[in-house]
Amino acid sequence: MDTGIIMLILALGGTSFLIRFLPAVFLNKFALPKIVEEWLSYVPVATMAAIVVPELLQGEGRVIYFSWSNLNLLSAIPTIAVAAKTKNLGYSLATGMGTMALLRFII
């Protein structure tokens, strides 16, 4: 069992390294077509939204949970305001965690 876990961790690490490394090292040999570059430019913003939107809306086993008990959604409001205005990771984190702590304290 123990060696099983270690083998699993090694395999997870190895495959993760390959997907992080291979595109960077092979695609840098030549210039990518303009349309591919443009496509890739949309990847970060799309990924972040695809991760965070469900995180904020899901709750109580539902995909969309609009409720005053959805603290993630409530905490997101000031966080979005600060993030949009400052584009600063630290301020956004402080706002988000601060709001969440406050809501937990009140509710």
Partner 1 sequence: MIPNQVKLGIKKALPIGMGYFPLGLAFGVIAENAGLTANQVGLMSVLLFSGSGQFIAVALISAGASFWTIIFTILLVNSRYLLFSATISRFVKKLPAGLTALICHGLTDETFVVSTTHFQQNDVDARFWLSLNITSHLVWISSSILGAVVGVFIPNLDKFGLNFALPAMFIALFFMTAAHLKAVYCGIIAGLISLLLIHWGMSEANVILATVFAASVGVVLNKWIPGS
What is the footprint of partner 1 within residues 40-79 (CB under 8 A)? 40-58, 63-64, 71-72, 75-76, 79
* Contact yes or no for 36/45 (Cβ under 8 A): no
Q: What SS3 class is residue 42?
A: coil
Closer residue to partner 1 (CB): 44 or 68? 44
Distance of closest approach, residue 31 Cβ to partner 1, in angstroms:
8
CA-based nearest residue to 27, from 93, 19, 78, 82: 19
For residues 72 and 56, is the Cβ–Cβ distance under 8 A?
yes
Residue 13 makes contact with partner 1 by CB under 8 A: yes
CB 73, min distance to partner 1, A: 10
Phi, psi dihedrals of residue 58, rounded to the nearest 5°: -70, 155
Shortest Cβ distance from residue 48 to partner 1 (Å)? 4
The DSSP H or E segment spanning 24 is helix 2-27
Of 61, 66, 89, 106, which lies in the binding site for partner 1, with binding defined by CB under 8 A?
89
* Residue of 3, 60, 61, 87 that binds partner 1 (CB under 8 A): 87
